[in-house]
């Protein structure tokens, strides 16, 4: 491989020790991942200070060390005069800059579309990815549903739940460029925006879905959460804004400088849906796009998914496609796994999986599930060990008057006490001792109970973060598959029924 020298003083602002030119093969924020010729960026994290691992990084072959602690950097520099040390104001910013440069600034050669919002990012990203590829605009995507090229999910390792760290983002974008892709859809979480993972990307389009309380364990206040999301629009040329969102739409409309398209169901908007009706195969509605009306029949369920579809249509229009051509491909749009996913089983009741793990998402999915004719509605909700505990009782509040049978369980416990999480959720019920409320400490047990309770004509809705392929228990990622848990239930049943 051709070696590439970088003039560090041209790339970073800061004080320098050692050679100002350095070869950089790759960039990493983790000393355990360093290979010879890499740059190591010291991040002060929740548990460790990356500066403590400089020695380990140098032993592994790091040639460039970037951090914010001048004293520590100067001490190491004195011992390693042939290595480069840079003291910067902000390590995460330096991580983004170097990661992009070392990968050849791939985002400059791609049409980039960022999606932010509390709920709907994965769905909007998947719809946008699907429409653009159907229109032969070869596009990849990065987000909770994994890293996709234009055809399929790739093998890229995902070390962060949704928006990868800067070095990984740029490696993926470089790969997209090598595969001659034209676009990339990037789910842009508030945490990633706050941690500057996306800092160097000039987005062609930024999409807003909505803002409701979430991740307050990280941002602390709604204002800080909103500010983090607004950052995406400060680095974008065009915007797609959800006019129905009371918390962020007005600010975006007022402050966004470039061309913007609004979409909505309740408020007047450039793309507006009305006459929404659920059918057996999806939803029909009337789309008014810039004054022209279209009759739409889309294979998606739930009013909020109509909203998500409008966001994707608006973004694809901003990429350059006409509304008519976009509408010509939506009849076979791809939907993300675990979002209003109907499980195919030969049983006289219906099983739906949904990722709803915020009170707002749960309210929306319940509203849509209620439209399906049913006898009993059996709903499993969960408290998430790793997330804001204040959200837990709100999940109970949302479901109590809607479902006939409610099961409360635990998702992604991390280090949280399972019983404590369940108790937190149950505090939200008006009648926690109701015989229709059950608690199970493990998600698998909750699912099996829901299936035990189901009879002909019932609908089971299993909500929570059961679809990422793992559960975080303590510090460990334990492989987990929702479909396997369901399959196991039916396998057990068929064994039980077999004649001896
Ligand atoms: C809570 C949080 O912000 N975690 C992030 C944080 O980890 P941390 O603060 O625990 O790091 P730390 O263990 O204190 O270590 C500090 C630094 O020392 C380094 N280190 C550590 C040990 C060692 O031996 N050598 C070494 O170099 C670490 O790599 C790190 O750079 O810094 C790491 C490095 O930047 C991140 O990868 C990590 O994201 C983890 C993977 C994560 O799960 N983040 C979640 C909260 C997240 O980002 N979620 C959002 C939103 C998801 C959603 O909306 O659903 C997302 O975009 O996925
Ligand atoms: N536009 C929307 N408004 C409200 N709720 C929604 C919307 N879109 C999806 N949801 C609900 O939120 C759940 C998660 O959807 P999706 O995965 O698309 O959101 P997300 O923002 O990517 O979430 P995460 O970042 O946690 O992956 C869905 O299963 C559904 O219950």
Give yes or no for residue 346 CB within 6 A of ligand 1: no
CA of 356, closest atom in ligand 2: 31
Instruction: Report yes or no on 500 lying in a domain.
Output: no
| pLDDT score for 500 | 44
Going from the Cα of 118 to the center of ligand 2, the distance in angstroms, rounded, reads 7
Going from the Cα of 18 to the center of ligand 2, the distance in angstroms, rounded, reads 48
The model's pLDDT over 103-159, given as tens digits with 9 standing for 90+, comes to 999 999 999 999 999 999 999 999 999 999 999 999 999 999 999 999 999 999 888
Reported as a pLDDT band with limits 50, 70 and 90, residue 467 is low
The model's pLDDT over 241-282, given as tens digits with 9 standing for 90+, comes to 999 999 899 999 999 999 999 999 999 999 999 999 987 788
Reported as a pLDDT band with limits 50, 70 and 90, residue 78 is very high
**286 and 435 inside one domain:** no
The answer, yes or no, to whether ipTM is higher than 0.90 is yes
Q: Which ligand is nearest to the CA of 119?
A: 2
Q: Which ligand is nearest to the CA of 341?
A: 2
Nearest to 310 by CA among 267, 362, 259: 267
Neighbours of 249 (CB within 10 A): 20
| pLDDT score for 298 | 96
Query: Under a CB-based contact definition with an 8 Å cutoff, are residues 367 and 306 in contact?
Result: no
**46 and 118 inside one domain:** no
Stretch 476-497: mean pLDDT, rounded?
Answer: 87
| pLDDT score for 302 | 86
| pLDDT score for 161 | 83
Whether the pLDDT of residue 227 is over 70: the answer is yes
To test ligand 2's pocket by mutation, which of 116, 117, 119, 283 has the most ligand atoms within 8 angstroms of CB?
A: 119
How many separate domains does the chain show?
3
Going from the Cα of 339 to the center of ligand 2, the distance in angstroms, rounded, reads 8
Is 130 assigned a ligand-binding role in the annotation?
A: no
**Separation of CA 269 from chain center:** 26
The model's pLDDT over 379-394, given as tens digits with 9 standing for 90+, comes to 999 999 988 788 999 9
Tokens of 86: 């840079």
**69 and 207 inside one domain:** no
**258 and 301 inside one domain:** yes
**428 and 481 inside one domain:** yes
| pLDDT score for 223 | 85
Residues in the ligand 2 pocket, defined by CB under 6 Å: 117, 119-123, 144, 162, 209-210, 304, 307-308, 339, 354-356, 360-361, 364-365
Going from the Cα of 45 to the center of ligand 1, the distance in angstroms, rounded, reads 7
The model's pLDDT over 273-313, given as tens digits with 9 standing for 90+, comes to 999 998 778 899 999 999 999 999 999 988 999 999 999 99
**127 and 151 inside one domain:** yes
**53 and 150 inside one domain:** no
Instruction: Report yes or no on 370 lying in a domain.
Output: yes
Strands (E), 209-304: 236-242, 260-264, 271-278, 283-289, 292-298
Instruction: Report yes or no on 258 lying in a domain.
Output: yes
**282 and 390 inside one domain:** no
Is 376 assigned a ligand-binding role in the annotation?
A: no
Neighbours of 432 (CB within 10 A): 15
To test ligand 1's pocket by mutation, which of 160, 193, 215, 466 has the most ligand atoms within 8 angstroms of CB?
A: 160
Stretch 432-453: mean pLDDT, rounded?
Answer: 96
**138 and 170 inside one domain:** yes
Stretch 420-432: mean pLDDT, rounded?
Answer: 96
Residue range(s) defining the domain that contains residue 185: 103-332
Residue at a domain's end among 332, 360, 376: 332
**323 and 388 inside one domain:** no
Ligand 1 atom 33, closest CA: 45
**137 and 197 inside one domain:** yes
Ligand 1 atom 42, closest CA: 160
Give the residue carrying structure tokens 């076979």.
Answer: 332
């Amino acid at each position: 491989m051709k070696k590439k020298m970088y003039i560090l003083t041209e790339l970073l602002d800061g004080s320098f020790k050692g050679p100002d030119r350095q070869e950089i093969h790759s960039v990493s924020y983790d000393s355990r991942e360093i290979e010879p010729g890499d740059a190591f960026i010291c991040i002060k994290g929740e548990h460790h200070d990356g500066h403590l691992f400089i020695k380990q990084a140098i032993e592994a072959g790091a040639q460039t060390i970037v951090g914010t602690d001048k004293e520590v950097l100067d001490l190491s520099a004195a011992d390693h005069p042939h290595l480069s040390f840079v003291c910067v104001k902000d390590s995460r910013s330096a991580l983004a800059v170097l990661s992009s440069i070392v990968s050849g600034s791939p985002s400059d050669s791609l049409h980039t579309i960022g999606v932010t919002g509390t709920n709907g990012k994965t769905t909007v990203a998947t719809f946008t990815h699907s429409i653009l590829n159907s229109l032969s605009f070869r596009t990849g995507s990065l987000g909770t549903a994994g890293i996709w090229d234009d055809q399929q999910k790739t093998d890229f390792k995902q070390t962060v739940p949704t928006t990868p760290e800067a070095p990984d983002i740029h490696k993926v974008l470089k790969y997209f460029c090598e595969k001659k892709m034209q676009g990339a859809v990037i789910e842009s979480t508030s945490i990633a925006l706050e941690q500057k993972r996306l800092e160097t990307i000039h987005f062609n389009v930024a999409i807003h879905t909505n803002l409701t309380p979430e991740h307050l364990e990280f941002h602390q206040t709604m204002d800080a959460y909103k500010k983090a999301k607004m950052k995406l629009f400060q680095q974008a040329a065009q915007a797609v804004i959800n006019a129905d969102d009371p918390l962020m739409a007005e600010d975006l409309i007022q402050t966004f400088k470039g061309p913007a398209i609004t979409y909505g169901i309740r408020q007047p908007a450039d793309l507006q849906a009305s006459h929404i009706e659920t059918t057996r195969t999806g939803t029909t509605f009337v789309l008014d796009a810039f004054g022209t009306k279209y009759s739409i029949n889309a294979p998606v369920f739930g009013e909020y998914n109509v909203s998500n579809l409008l966001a994707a249509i608006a973004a694809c229009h901003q990429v350059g496609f006409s509304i008519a051509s976009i509408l010509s491909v939506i009849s076979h749009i791809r939907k993300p796994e675990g979002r209003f996913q109907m499980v195919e089983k030969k049983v006289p009741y219906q099983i739906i999986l949904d990722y709803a793990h915020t009170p707002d998402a749960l309210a929306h999915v319940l509203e849509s599930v209620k439209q399906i004719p049913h006898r009993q509605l059996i709903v499993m909700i969960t408290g998430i060990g790793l997330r804001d505990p204040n959200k837990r009782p709100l999940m109970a509040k949302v479901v109590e008057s809607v479902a006939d049978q409610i099961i409360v369980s635990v998702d992604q416990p991390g280090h949280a006490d399972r019983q404590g999480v369940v108790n937190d959720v149950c505090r939200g019920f008006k009648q926690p001792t109701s015989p229709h409320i059950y608690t199970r400490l493990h998600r698998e047990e909750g699912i099996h109970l829901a299936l035990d309770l189901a009879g002909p004509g019932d609908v089971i809705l299993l909500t929570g973060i059961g679809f990422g392929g793992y559960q975080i228990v303590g510090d460990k990622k334990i492989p987990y598959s929702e479909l396997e848990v369901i399959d196991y239930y039916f396998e057990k049943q068929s064994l039980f029924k077999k004649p001896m």
